Amino acid sequence: MAKKGNEKSKTEKKKTDQKEDDDFQYIVRIANTDIDGGKKLIHGLSSIKGVGRHMSTFIIKKTGLDVNQKMGYLSEKQINTIGKAIESIQDEAPKWMLNHQKEYETGEDIHIIGPQIDLRLRDEINIMKKIRSYKGIRHERGLTVRGQRTRGNNRKGLTLGVSKARARQ
């Protein structure tokens, strides 16, 4: 008789899990990024390009959500509040937290999110090439930019490694 009781509780658990799964979203879209619904909120937000762990904790605290909540259980209202918080992060976050300080053209501190990061980086590298700065020249030649050694590492081309001396006849 104990077995029948266990079987009923298992079927009841399955039914409650199915009800919870009805509300669960496997993919959540925030800031033009698809996020896995199985991730916790802090890790899910950090998968958006331009939002790291510190920034995601800042956003979660601003919106007043639970850090350990999974992304898939967020309601539409909560997703919209997170989206608005990400859009207005430039005004609310401290300057040291922003990812683009002292912009080249305006000198402002801004926070860039999504594909704009790649576009901005490409533009800045092209500016460095135009003004013929040291970093720009290194970018043009495909060499290391930040002072790394190039003798042992960063080898490209046909001759790599030590070649064996051919046996003389």
Q: What is the distance between the alpha carbons of residues 49 and 119, in angstroms, rounded to a whole number?
A: 13
- The beta strands (E) that lie in the chain are given as 27-30, 33-36
Total residues found in the chain within this entry: 169
pLDDT of amino acid 18: 44
Tell me the average pLDDT across 67-87.
92
pTM for the model stands at 0.68
- For 95-143, the DSSP string reads GGG-SB-S-TTT---B---TTHHHHHHHHHHHHHHHTT-HHHHHHHHT-
Predicted confidence (pLDDT) at residue 156 exceeds the cutoff of 80: no
Of residues 154 and 142, more confidence is placed in 142
Task: Quickly state the pLDDT bin for 105 (edges 50, 70, 90).
Answer: confident
pLDDT of amino acid 35: 92
